[in-house]
Chain A
Amino acid sequence: MNLDTKSVYTVAKKEFTDHIRNRWILILIIVFIALTLVASFLAGQRSLSSDKTLGGAEDTVVTLLSIAGFLMPLIAIMLGFSTIAGEAESGSLALVLSYPIRRSEVLLGKFLGLGAILAFTTLIGFGTGGIIISISAGTAQILGFLAFIGLTILFGLMYLGPMILFSALLKRRVTAIGSGIFMFLWSPIYSMITFGIYLATTNISPTDLMQGGTISLPNWMWWSISVSPTDLYETTVMKAFNVQQAFGFQMPLPGFLATPVLLFFMCLWIAIPLLLAYVFFRRRDI
């Protein structure tokens, strides 16, 4: 595959300039910042009163995790769903492709430009939160927090890749929106199903789980998170921050799910959909 980096950069820059001025993306960024501020403020308060700095960082990360858990997919879906289906339908893609540029360059440029928006949003959203934490709690975990931001951006890209695939595959903008709703619900529904299977095949009752204490899940359930972006992301973050406790549960992570393994799965979630997107986009009538 031949790639001209200048063409890729040109498309990426255009995507960034175009979408950064999109009303909906702007609203989501503001929501992001607001939620992060509230979360880190509350967590910071708690950590000061209990005099446990580390616990504060843990709490903050867990709260931020759930914010990112629904905001990142939302932003990625909004950015990705119409990038090919919508532009092919309107006709602007035909114009772009009449220029001396390869389809692979357009696709990669789109991914990088939209990915840059995701990264920018995350940096602003969590960055402001990070500043508040370091001021109020005085934690010097800047590197750790940056790693968290990095993982969150990776998480967003795990939704952007598949959304670009759906956009390359589906003929119309409307059906692409449908695929976005599917993607948004995929992780929660998938978790519910696997958890249902788990409860049905063991003699643990849901009330046992609600009493707190230690939950030890079977290995197949841990492996199965590789097909659920949200679970992969949350597990990786918890592993990286050595968070053992979430919402009152002790959840020791199995040893075989080492951080590199988790990161590998996350990268697969980006690479495979993008390659498939190229296969479909290359053959598509514009």
Chain B
Amino acid sequence: MVTQSISCPKCHTQITIQGTPGQHQIITCPACGTKGQFMFPASSTPQPSKGQTCIEVSHLTKKYKDTIAANDITLTVKRGEIFGLLGPNGAGKTTTIKALLGLIRINAGTITIDGHDIYHDGVEAKKHIGYLPERVALFDNLTPIQTLKFFCELRGEDPAQIPGLLKEIGLTDASTRKVGGFSKGMVQLLGIAQVLIGHPSIYILDEPSSGLDPRWTKVIRDKIRYLNDTGATVIFSSHHLSEVESLCDRAAIIDKGRLIAQDSLAKIQSVVQTKPRLEITIPGLQGKTPKILQGLTGIISLIVKGDTITITCDQSLRGKIIALLEEADYTVSNIKTIEPSLEDAFIKLTGGKTQ
């Protein structure tokens, strides 16, 4: 008998459950009534403790004909954390992920997963990995059931979990149709189902919410949190900064094949020292910049949009700005301070646009 503490994917209530290793159990959350399936990790694969190094990439370099897709990238992912790989399109995120899985030959560097070198001991290294490619492609003439059965067999997992997986992604009704007739979104969902086969301990997700409609974006975020709560390590790439900000413990920023920063989110934000922005709403402003603010020293940027002025400036200047506006008889209805987002950090670091 094993005791496991999990958190509800919907309301995050902690639930303590008991079962035998490898057993599937239907669990109902006592707080919100959400039902879910949980599989106890098989006893042969004990969950190693958190905080140990899980994925280690050192000095990864990959050159294509005339571009360097990855240039001396070194990063470490610790067990049990959610790690974000952030960068614009074409920055080298997919190259890094493909190297992690041994899918591409690299020019220099080493990659180890759970201590196994991916190029020398690939089968062992990939045993507990679930991988979601950016653009999932499957086999046109197979049905979802046949597809998932194939992947179950490859991972040595019980195909009894297939109906549950299909239900989770909402493809139960299409389970006997050929995948060739599926929409892109349906194929992507089936790709998500194969990631979950056998509850891997490491998830490598390349742009997990790309190709899906927004309603799934939230589902995937919740799922990533849930998987992480059950002890899994998640590494995912994204160019959606909000996604990384809301999910990750740590992140790496990659641009033009180079690693620009790698640290906890708070540190990344503090390192670049992006200043908070001040958002002031003045009813009836209608896009006109108040004269008293024009040319005021200390203002880094000033944007007026409708009735809202967004100002980036030193903290010390804030009181003065408000006072000046009130002196000039502007009615300030709302003042908001916006903390620097990763987007600001990102733009500052790369000197470019996010997308």
Contacts between chains A and B (CB distance < 8 A), count: 79
Taking the nearest CB of chain B, how far is it from the CB of A21, in angstroms? 4
**Please, how many angstroms separate the alpha-carbon atoms of A22 and B139 in the complex?**
11
Q: A95-B131, A98-B129 are in contact. Are A21 and B191 (CB under 8 A)?
A: no
- A17–B154 touching, CB < 8 Å: no
Nearest neighbor of A14 in chain B, beta-carbon distance: B150
Taking the nearest CB of chain A, how far is it from the CB of B93, in angstroms? 15
Q: Counting CB contacts under 8 A, is B137 at the interface?
A: yes
Interface residues in A114-143 (C-beta closer than 8 Å to B):
none
Nearest neighbor of A285 in chain B, beta-carbon distance: B104
Q: How large is the interface on A (under 10, 10 to 19, 20 to 34, 35 or more residues)?
A: 20 to 34
Nearest neighbor of B134 in chain A, beta-carbon distance: A91
Q: A10-B150, A10-B153, A14-B150 are in contact. Are A97 and B139 (CB under 8 A)?
A: no
Nearest neighbor of A90 in chain B, beta-carbon distance: B137
Q: Counting CB contacts under 8 A, is A46 at the interface?
A: no
Chain B residues, CB < 8 A from A18: 139-142
- B103–A286 touching, CB < 8 Å: yes
Q: Which residue in A22, A87, A102 is a CB contact (below 8 Å) of B122?
A: A102
- A97–B135 touching, CB < 8 Å: no
Interface residues in B, total, Cβ within 8 A? 33
- B141–A10 touching, CB < 8 Å: no
Q: Mark B115-141, 1 if CB is under 8 A from A, else 0.
A: 000000011101101010101111111
- A96–B154 touching, CB < 8 Å: yes
- A91–B137 touching, CB < 8 Å: yes
- B103–A97 touching, CB < 8 Å: yes
Nearest neighbor of B178 in chain A, beta-carbon distance: A21
Chain A residues, CB < 8 A from B135: 91
Chain B facing A: main interface SS: loop
- A95–B142 touching, CB < 8 Å: no
- B123–A101 touching, CB < 8 Å: yes
**Please, how many angstroms separate the alpha-carbon atoms of A90 and B122 in the complex?**
23
Q: Mark A84-98, 1 if CB is under 8 A from B, else 0.
A: 000100111011111
- B139–A94 touching, CB < 8 Å: no
20 contacts between A and B (CB under 8 A): A10-B154, A14-B150, A18-B142, A21-B141, A91-B133, A92-B139, A94-B103, A94-B133, A95-B137, A95-B191, A96-B154, A97-B101, A98-B131, A99-B126, A99-B154, A99-B155, A100-B122, A100-B126, A100-B154, A285-B98
- B residues engaging A (CB < 8 A)? 98, 101-105, 122-124, 126-127, 129, 131, 133, 135-142, 146, 150-151, 153-156, 178, 191, 194, 204
Name the 10 nearest CB pairs between A and B, nearest first.
A98-B131, A91-B137, A90-B137, A21-B141, A99-B154, A285-B104, A92-B137, A10-B153, A286-B103, A100-B126
